[in-house]
Chain A
Amino acid sequence: MGETARDIMDTRLYTLHPRTPVAEAAAILRRAREELGRPVFGMIVVDNEGKLVGMASMYDILLLTRPKHIHIWGEMADIDATGIIREACLRAKPILVGDIMTTNVVTVTPDTHLLLIVDIMIKRHIRRLPVLEDGKVVGMVYLSKVFDYFVDQLIL
Chain B
Amino acid sequence: MSIIDRESVLRGLTVQEAMRRLVIRSTYHAPLEQATRLMIKYKVNALLVTDEEENGIGVLSKTDVMAAYYAEMAVDTPIEAMMTGPPLFCNLRDPLDEALETMRGKGVHRLYVSGEMSGKATGVLAYPDIVGILYRYCYKCERSLTRRRGAQSSIPEAERLKVHEVMTPSVHSHAEDETLFQVMEGLSSHRLGAALITARDGRPSGIISKTDLIIAYRHRVAPDVPARTIMSSPVLACSQSDLLCNAIQTMIFSDVHRLFVYGEDTRQVAGVLSLTDAARIRSGTCRACIATRLMIGSGSA
Chain A positions within 8 Å of B, measured between CB atoms, are: 60, 63-64, 66-69, 71-76, 78-81, 83-84, 87-88, 91, 99-100, 103
Contacts and interface: CB of A to CB of B under 8 A. Distances in A.
B41 A91 contact: no
B133 A68 contact: no
A78 B139 contact: yes
B245 interface: yes
Contacts of A67: 252, 255
A71 B40 contact: no
Given A72-B132, A73-B252, A76-B279, 10 more contacts: A64-B41, A72-B276, A73-B275, A75-B132, A84-B253, A87-B253, A88-B255, A99-B37, A100-B37, A100-B41
Nearest to A73: B252
A83 B253 CA distance: 8
B135 A75 contact: yes
Interface of B is mostly: helix
Interface in B235-290: 245, 248-249, 251-255, 257, 275-276, 279, 282
7 contacts: A67-B252, A76-B135, A76-B248, A99-B37, A99-B40, A99-B218, A103-B34
B253 A72 contact: no
Interface in B88-118: none
A62 to B, nearest CB: 11
B136 interface: yes
Contacts of A87: 253-255
Contacts of A73: 132, 248, 252, 275, 279
B37 A71 contact: no
Contacts of B87: none
Interface string B193-227: 00000000000000000000001001000000000
